[in-house]
Each structure stands twice: as C-alpha cells, then as structure tokens.
Amino acid sequence: MKNITKSIIALFAVVALSCSVEDVQNRPVIEGVDSPVLTAPSTGAAYVLTAATATAQAERFTWKSANYGGDVQVTYAVEIDKKGNEFKTPQSIGSVISENQVSVTIEQLNNAALSLKATPFAPGEFEVRVKASAGALVPMYSNIVGIVVTPFPSWPNWGIIGDATPTGWGSDTNLDYDLATQKYSITIHLTAAHFKFRLNDSWDVNYGDDGNNGTLEAGGSDVPVAAEGDYKIVVDFTAKTYTITKL
C-alpha cells in the first residue's frame, strides 16, 4: 500500500512538472501590431558636418507611431549604422517617449559617424531606422533609410590658407592629424608666395610666424615660401612650432 501511494505521488509530481515546463515554453510572445514608419529624412539625404556649427540641428527625424494594440508608453530611439552592417553595431543618436520626432544636432550625428569608424572629410554611407520599445514587449523597428554623412574629426581641424597654396586665400587645405605624435602634417605643392595656419576655416584663430624661425604666433605674419616646389609641413600646435621641408 505504501509503495502504491508513493507511486501515485511521484506520478502527480511528474505531471505537475511537465505542465509547468510546457506552460513556460508555450507562453505566447506579446508583439506589436504595426511597426513605426520613418518619414524623414528621405533616402539619399546628405550631411556635410562642420565643427563650427556643431550645436545646430543636423536633421529632425520624424515617424508614424508604432501600434502595440493598447494604451502603452512607447520609447522611440533613432539608430544609425554603416550601410550593409545590418544594424549589428547601431548607435543611438536621439530618443523620446511617446513622441513622433527628435531633433539631432550636428555634433550628435558626427560623434555617431566617428564611432562607426567613418573617415573625417570623406562622405560615408549609413542607414537609419527607428526602434520602438514598450516595457517587456518585443521591440519593433521601422523601415530603413540610407543617408550620406561627411563628418569632421574629433580633434581640432587645422588647415593652411594663402596664395602659396593651390586654393589661394579663398579656402583652406586641411592638415592631417597623427594621433600617435599629436602633430599635424601635409605634403603639398606650393608656389613662391605665403600662407598661414587657421582653425576651423576661420580667421578667429590663426597662426603665422613673425620671425620666420619656425615658431608660431597668434595672428602672426604670413609664412613665406621662397621657391615653388613640393613641401612637407609638420606642425605642433601645442609647442607652437613647425617645420617646412622642400622635397
């Protein structure tokens, strides 16, 4: 009799355990009804970003709301990733709660592009989408829109300008930055004339050389180039020194 009782108890335990496991496995996943729809920007939108306008709006992203089939609080995040990366490493560039738009600054878009290994001053292809989240419910994603972003470097943007350069006094030629040495350099063809160093394509911060001795002074004299030819210029803006070598 004791053995029969034990067997019955064990049987009920197995049945109860089986029901619990099946309940968990068969529990329905709650999903939304309609995904959000990204309405702006349009495909192919291009952004040439500059440090001088970092706080300005780059884009106002807009979308149609997601439908979760009930009155729930939805958080929307605009995500960006490199084209073709299938959003394996998305960067969030702005989020809002229960709204249909978010303003993204030039600095936010630039930082995201650099985080995705974009090359400064070079146009790169990216994709954007909107992610909708509502508590423990399954996130939903909008349609994907392709955009082009030309970022500026996170380090100061120095260049040279002058009648010795190919673009004259009209525009700057950007210097390359070496992260290891923290110096700027350029190899360039110069004519027998003059040039100066400028920050962010503006005369607000510029350097010249009053003594023509390889040291820089704020607002100093134009740097002379004695003869036309190919030159390598290396600049240390921390030490305020530079070298110019004819190749």
Domain ranges of the chain: 37-150, 158-246
CA distance 228 to 105: 43
Which residues does the chain have with pLDDT short of 50?
1-30
Q: Is the peptide bond before 41 cis (omega within 30 degrees of 0)?
A: yes
Overall pTM surpassing 0.75 (yes/no): no
Residue length of the chain: 247
Fold of 158-246: Immunoglobulin-like (2.60.40)
Q: Which residue has the tokens 């003594």?
A: 211
* Tens digits of residue pLDDT in 85-142: 999 999 999 999 999 999 999 999 999 999 999 998 899 999 999 999 999 899 999 9
Looking at residue 70, what is its pLDDT? 82
Fold match flag (37-150 vs 158-246): yes
Looking at residue 217, what is its pLDDT? 97
CA 188 to chain centroid: 29
Q: How many CB atoms lie within 10 A of CB 86?
A: 11
Looking at residue 31, what is its pLDDT? 55
At the top level of CATH, which class does the domain 37-150 belong to?
mainly beta
